[in-house]
Chain A
C-alpha cells in the first residue's frame, strides 16, 4: 500500500510534467494539424535555460528561494517562447498549405538542429543541478521501515501545474485571444475573413506551447537534477503519446493523457521492469492509435475528400 502510494505520487508528478508538454503538441496539432516534432527539444531548451538561470542567480548572489524560482520561471518561459516563435517562423510558416508531410520533415530537421545546437554550445555531457528544494512530508510508514513520502518539490510541481491549467483554461475559454485561437482551429479561411490575424494567432499558439514546455523543463530539471541535449527526444515522444491518448486537439485530454502516461510509467517501473518502461509507453501509443485513434476525449476525425 505504501509502495503503491509512493508510485502513485511519483506518477502524478511525472504525469504533470508530461501534461504540460502535451498541451504544446495538442494545441499545435489542433490549429495547424501538424506534429511539432521539435517540441520535445523546446522542452529541453527550457530546462537548459532554467539551469543557466539558477547558476546565474547563484553567481549574482540572489539567495531567497521564492524570488529565485520566480525569476527563473519567468525568464525561462520568455526565452523559451522566443525559441518557439522562431521555430514556427523559420521552419513551419513557409510551409503552410504545402504538401502534408513537408512540415513534419521540416520539424524533424528542426529537432536535429536544436539538439546539435545545444550539444555544440553546451557540450554533450549531462548537466547536474544540486537540489533546489529539499525535504517533504512522510505520509505513511510500513512496519519494515519503508515510508511513502511526498516532497515539497512534488507539491510545488502539482500546485504549479494546477494553477497553470486554470489560467490556461481561462485564457482559452474567456479571452478574445482564446476565441481567435478556437476560431482558427475550426476554419482558418473563415477566421481570416472575419478579421482574425491567422499568422499571429498561430505564432501565439507556438509561444504559449513553448512557455508551458519551459515550465515543464524547469520542474523536470528540479525533480531529476540533470539535463542533457538528448533528453527532449524521449520525453517529447512520451508527451506526444499523452496527447494522443487524451485525444489530440483536446486540452483537458492532454492533461489527462499526461497523468495516465505518468502513472503507467511509474507503476510499470515500480512493479515490472524499469528497462522496458519505454516499451510500455510506446506499446500504449500503438494500442491507442489502433483501437481508438481519436483518443479518450477527442472528437472522431471525419475524413473529407
Chain B
C-alpha cells in the first residue's frame, strides 16, 4: 500500500530535476558577476578585473545538489536525500584545492541536507498517526516551559552571573561578560518599547548616544563624576525620549520604524558635525573612569585625588582586574534593575495597557486606554534605560565617537530583542549571548561576522517569526494563571470554556 501511495522515482525525477536546475541557474546569475569578477586596483588608479570562475562553478554545483537533495526528501525519498547530503559533505571535504570557507560551506550544506532527510526518515507521515510535531511547535513547547520555569531559570542565571568573575578571573572573560551584559541591558530596555508595547523602534541607539554623550560632555565641561552623571544621563535620555516620542505618536507599524530610524540618524549626524561642542568625528577622549562609589579610586598608587585606592582600602593586592570586575558588577546591577522594573511594570495597569496596545492598536483605544500616554511612557522609560547603558558605555570605553552609534548598533539591539522572542526577558539573554558572545569567541571568523548575523536574522525570522523563545501569554490573567478553573465554585461549563 505504501508503494502505491508514493510516486515512483521516475515520476518525481523530472520535477525534482527541474527545481534543482532552476536553483542552479539562479545561482549562476547571482554569482557570475559578484563572485566571478573581482574588482582590483590596476594601473593609474583605475580598476581592473580578476576572474574567479572556479568559485562560481562550485557555488552552482553546491546549490544544484543541495536543492536536489532537499527536493528528493520533500517528495518522500529520504534515502536519496541522505545520500546526496553525504556526498556533498564528503565531496567538499576531500575535493582537492578548495578554500577552507568553501569546505565549511559545503560541509554545512551537506549536513543540512542529510539531517533534513534523516528527520524525514525517522518520523514518517502515516495516516494512522497524528502528524509529527514540527520543529517550530517543539520550540513553542520549549518557550512555554521556559516561561513557566522563569523563576528558577532566572535565579540560576543570576547566581551564575554573580559567580562569573570568580569562575573565569581573567581580563578577556570579564571584558566579554561586560560586553554581553551591556547588550542584555540594552535589549531589556528596548524590550519595553518593542516587546511590550509592540512599537518597532529602529533608532534606539539615539538614546544610547544621548546617555554616552551626556556623561562625556558633562565630565569634559563641568568635571562631573560618573556617579552624578549616571542619573543625569538617564534623565536627559528620558527627556530625549519624551521629545522624540511626541511627533511619532500618531504613527504605526512601519512608518513608526522608519521615523525612529530617521531620528537615530539625525542625532548621529548632528554629533558628527557639531564639532565645536561634541568634538565631531574625533569624539571625546579620556572620559574619567568611575570611582568605587566615591570612596576609593582604582589606582595602583595608594592614594589619588585625596581618595584612598581600592586595594589599600580593602587590604588587597593591586591588580587592574579589580576595576574590570567592578565595572562588570555595575552593569550587572544596572541590567538587573532594568529587568526588575520591567517585570514589575508589566503587572501594573501601564504594563497591561502596553500588552493590549501590542495585540491590537484600535481595540486598545476603544477600551478607553489613552494611547498617547502609554506610548510616551514606553518611549520615556525605555529611553532612560538606554541612557544609563550609554553612560556606562562611555565610562567603560573612556572614549566615544559618533562611529559607535550607527544604525548597525540599533539593528543589533533590535535583533537581540526580536530573535530572543519579543517580550521574553530570558530570550533577550539567550539572544545576547548568541549574537554578541559567540562571535567574540570565534574571532577568526571576524570578517564573516556581520554576514552570518544578517543571514541568521533572516533564517530565524523565517523559522520562528516571533523569535526563539516567543511565548505570548498575558502577564496577568483574570482568575490567576489557571483561568476560571481554579476557584472551587467554578462549574462544568466554565471548565469547558477554559479548555
List chain A positions with a Cβ less than 8 A from chain B: 34-35, 45, 48-49, 51-53, 55-56, 59, 78-79, 82-83, 85-86, 90-91, 94-95, 98-106, 108-118, 120-123, 127-130, 233, 237, 240, 244, 275-276, 278-279, 282-283, 285-286, 289-290, 293, 303, 305
Contacts and interface: CB of A to CB of B under 8 A. Distances in A.
A160 B433 CA distance: 50
Given A108-B457, A113-B457, A118-B34, 7 more contacts: A45-B34, A55-B48, A104-B257, A105-B414, A113-B451, A282-B265, A285-B259
A109 B457 contact: yes
Contacts of B408: 112
B448 to A, nearest CB: 7
Contacts of B451: 112-113, 116-117, 120
Interface in B445-459: 447-448, 450-451, 453-458
B299 to A, nearest CB: 40
Interface in B369-417: 407-408, 411, 414-415
Given A56-B37, A95-B465, A79 B251 contact: no
Interface in B243-273: 247-248, 250-251, 253-255, 257-259, 261-263, 265-266, 269-270, 273
Contacts of A90: 458, 462
A121 B465 contact: no
B251 A113 contact: no
A105 B418 contact: yes
B362 interface: yes
10 A-B pairs closest in CB distance: A109-B457, A113-B454, A112-B454, A102-B465, A82-B29, A282-B262, A116-B451, A106-B461, A109-B458, A98-B465
B47 A51 contact: yes
A278 B26 CA distance: 36
Given A85-B26, A109-B461, A127 B269 contact: no
A112 B406 CA distance: 13
Contacts of B200: 101, 104
Contacts of B461: 91, 95, 102-103, 105-106, 109
B141 interface: no
Contacts of B261: 237
Given A110-B454, A282-B265, A83 B37 contact: no
A293 B258 contact: no
The A contact surface, by secondary structure, is: helix
Given A48-B34, A285-B262, A289-B251, A116 B49 contact: no
A77 to B, nearest CB: 12
Contacts of A240: 258
Q: Most chain-A Cβ atoms within 10 A of its Cβ — which of B248, B251, B457?
A: B457
A269 to B, nearest CB: 13
A49 B33 contact: yes
29 contacts: A35-B257, A48-B34, A52-B33, A56-B37, A79-B33, A83-B30, A86-B30, A91-B458, A99-B466, A108-B415, A109-B457, A109-B458, A110-B458, A112-B454, A113-B451, A113-B458, A115-B450, A115-B454, A116-B454, A117-B34, A120-B451, A121-B38, A122-B34, A237-B258, A237-B265, A289-B251, A293-B251, A293-B255, A303-B361
B34 A104 contact: no
Contacts of A82: 26, 29-30
A242 to B, nearest CB: 12
A195 to B, nearest CB: 23
B46 interface: yes
A120 B362 CA distance: 45
B424 to A, nearest CB: 15
B360 A305 contact: yes
Chain B interface mostly: helix
A108 B262 CA distance: 15
Contacts of A51: 39, 47
B35 interface: yes
A286 B247 contact: yes
Contact of B49 (A52, A100, A103, A115): A52
Contacts of A35: 254, 257-258
A198 to B, nearest CB: 19
B47 A128 contact: yes
Given A55-B49, A112-B411, A117-B451, A49 B34 contact: yes
A111 B454 contact: yes
B49 A59 contact: yes
Contacts of A49: 33-34
A73 B263 CA distance: 36
Interface in B297-337: none
A90 B408 CA distance: 22
B363 interface: yes
B492 interface: no
Interface string B345-370: 00000000000000011110000000
Contact of B32 (A79, A111, A129, A305): A79
A35 B257 CA distance: 10
B457 A276 contact: no
Contact of B258 (A59, A98, A233, A244): A244
A270 B474 CA distance: 54
Contacts of A86: 26, 30
Contacts of A293: 250-251, 255
Contacts of A120: 447-448, 451
B45 interface: yes
Contacts of B250: 290, 293
A113 B448 CA distance: 10
Contacts of A55: 37, 39, 47-49
Nearest to B260: A286
A290 B257 CA distance: 13
Contacts of B34: 45, 48-49, 117-118, 121-122
Nearest to A125: B41
A112 B453 contact: yes
A149 B303 CA distance: 70
Contacts of B415: 105, 108-109
Contacts of A101: 200, 253, 418
A196 to B, nearest CB: 22
